[in-house]
A = this chain, B = another copy of it.
Amino acid sequence: MSNGRAPTSHDVARLAGVSQSTVSLVFRGASSGRVGERTRRTVLDAARELGFRPNADARRLRVGGPRMVLIAVPDIVNPFFARVFTGARAVAREAGFQVVLSVQRDLDSVAADVAGQQIDAVLACSLEDGGRPLEDPVPAVVLDAEPPQGQGSVRFDIAPVLTELVGHLHRLGHRRIAHLRSDVRTATFRERTEAVDAACERHGMTRVHASCALDTGSAREAASALLAEHAGPGGRPGFTAVVCDDDVLSVGVYKAAADAGLAVPADLSVTGMDDVDLATAVTPELTTLHLPGEELGATGMRRLIARLERGAERGDGPRARAGQAAGARSGSAETGTECVRLPARLLVRGSTAPPAAGG
């Protein structure tokens, strides 16, 4: 057996009694009309016996491979990010790019994943604040986050719809609300806080708040504490609605409300953000903000690719390699380097109602 080294096409050639280039021809599939059937068999048998697999690195060094884009998300188990990834991946593949996934929370870790791989571009979603921009001159687009200098970004236009949400609660008659925030330190969540605060101010609504981790258990505890702390007259809570930074948190609030003997929405209105499966699974179904994750990913990837193509045309893009495989996208005038906002939508469902008369 081979002494530890992986078998090469040379080894196969020697065993088959042919030249190395013949082995190459056979494995390239270019054997028809060039290599005899007998020889082909011999080569294949020899290869099988040695467990030969062509070295992809060597092949790519020679011919150039498809271009690769790295997609980074902070947490692939979260269905929201999974959808962002799915949307971005679909666009990338359509355009002939290979996709590599990086599950990391900050830009520095993403940079580490980029190193050592032949990455042509990076799409990074919801990274934590801080972290220097990539030192490599790799084009990047960030999603749902503050764009680093000179890179494009795509995010949700969340302020208007959040204003609309607070207006919806105000119209129902709510005057004192609670805001259950995520303690994740990203730009989106800061924006959400600002927008809720501003809207409350405008409507002259009272607001209390708490922060917790992005899971149901933490939200349940935080909401219970909030309920206990701000107990109003007659055992009723000191607020009549809870605005949550995320659907997952809303589920925790449902639990906390049930623990306290409060009915949703009769005693307490609850709202979420994201519109994941959870939102329609619970009873009553959750009034929430629809944040189109797939579209976020797809839009970001389209801009990234547009920038890549533009760079390639100008001839100064990094590694314009062979095998273009231009996708079937009709050209749009995106430059890929600005900050775009995607519209969000308010979905009114069963979890919001006028506050109880006694509230």
Given A258-B283, A283-B258, A283-B283: A315 and B1 within 8 A (CB)? yes
Is B53 touching A138 in the complex (CB atoms < 8 A)?
yes
Q: What residues of chain A have their CB less than 8 Å away from a CB belonging to chain B?
A: 1-6, 48, 51, 53, 55-61, 65-66, 76-77, 79, 82-83, 85-86, 89, 100-101, 103, 116-119, 136-138, 216, 248, 251, 254, 258, 277-278, 280-283, 312, 314-321
CB-contact partner of A5 in B77, B281, B314, B320, under 8 A: B320
Given A6-B320, A320-B4: A281 and B77 within 8 A (CB)? no
Is B278 touching A281 in the complex (CB atoms < 8 A)?
yes
Is A281 touching B315 in the complex (CB atoms < 8 A)?
no
Task: Give, as a whole number of angstroms, the nearest-CB distance from A355 to chain B.
Answer: 22
The number of times this chain is found in the oligomer is 2
Is B53 touching A319 in the complex (CB atoms < 8 A)?
yes
Minimal Cβ-Cβ distance residue in B for A115 = B56
CA distance A136 to B77 in the complex (A): 31
CB-contact partner of A277 in B76, B254, B278, B321, under 8 A: B278
Q: Which residues of B contact A65 (CB under 8 A)?
A: 57, 116
Pairs across A and B, CB under 8 Å, 13 listed: A1-B316, A4-B315, A53-B318, A57-B57, A57-B65, A57-B118, A58-B61, A59-B116, A60-B116, A66-B116, A76-B82, A251-B281, A254-B283
Is A61 touching B53 in the complex (CB atoms < 8 A)?
no
CB-contact partner of A86 in B76, B258, B317, under 8 A: B76
Given A216-B281, A258-B283, A277-B278: A85 and B76 within 8 A (CB)? yes
Q: Which residues of B contact A317 (CB under 8 A)?
A: 51
Is A61 touching B51 in the complex (CB atoms < 8 A)?
no
CB-contact partner of A57 in B61, B66, B79, B101, under 8 A: B61
CA distance A283 to B83 in the complex (A): 26
CA distance A319 to B57 in the complex (A): 12
Q: Which residues of B contact A116 (CB under 8 A)?
A: 56, 59-60, 65-66
Is A315 touching B137 in the complex (CB atoms < 8 A)?
no
Q: Which residues of B contact A315 (CB under 8 A)?
A: 1-4
Q: Which residues of B contact A76 (CB under 8 A)?
A: 76, 82, 85-86
